[in-house]
């Protein structure tokens, strides 16, 4: 068994598509219209086109809003993405205007930082020990 797909709920799919592809650097994998303006919109890591897909799903379900608001209020990231160098990625993203809620923080062998994805979520980036 392996993870094939995971979801990030977003306020606006067009805005999310721009942020996740143009700012974060993911590549669009699927973009299928579902009616009423919704799309099955997934992105993948550019170096893993057949890897785990991230679904940028509309946040329309009534349970999503209070869930995400509680996570953001408590400073809890909705998802974590692996990067080779958190400090370098932090500098790159900050130069592109990304707002960080947690600057790079090293805890033993792991370094993390947390940013606002502009779509209603906090996202953590982390460098894992090798």
pLDDT tens sequence across 19-50: 999 999 999 999 999 888 889 999 999 999 99
pLDDT in tens, 65-93: 999 999 999 999 999 999 999 999 999 99
pLDDT the model gives residue 35: 84
Q: Is the pLDDT of residue 63 over 80?
A: yes
The pLDDT, as a whole number, for residue 48 is: 96
Q: What is the mean pLDDT of the chain?
A: 96
What is the reported pLDDT for 93? 98
Q: What is the percent of the chain with per-residue pLDDT over 70, rounded to a whole number? A: 99
Confidence grade of residue 7 (pLDDT, cut at 50, 70, 90): very high
Beta pairing, strands 79-82 & 122-127: parallel
CATH of domain 5-127: 3.10.180.10
């Amino acid at each position: 068994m392996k993870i094939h797909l995971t979801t990030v709920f977003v306020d606006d799919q067009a805005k999310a598509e721009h942020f996740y592809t143009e700012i974060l650097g993911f590549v669009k994998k699927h973009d299928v219209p579902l009616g009423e303006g919704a799309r099955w919109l997934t992105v993948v890591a550019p170096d893993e086109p057949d890897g785990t897909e991230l679904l940028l799903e509309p946040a329309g379900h009534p349970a999503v809003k209070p869930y995400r608001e509680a996570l953001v209020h408590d400073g809890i990231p909705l998802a974590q993405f692996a990067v080779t160098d958190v400090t370098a990625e932090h500098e790159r993203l900050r130069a592109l205007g990304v707002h960080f809620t947690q600057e790079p923080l090293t805890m033993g062998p792991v370094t993390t930082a947390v940013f606002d994805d502009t779509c209603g979520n906090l996202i953590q980036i982390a460098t894992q020990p090798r």
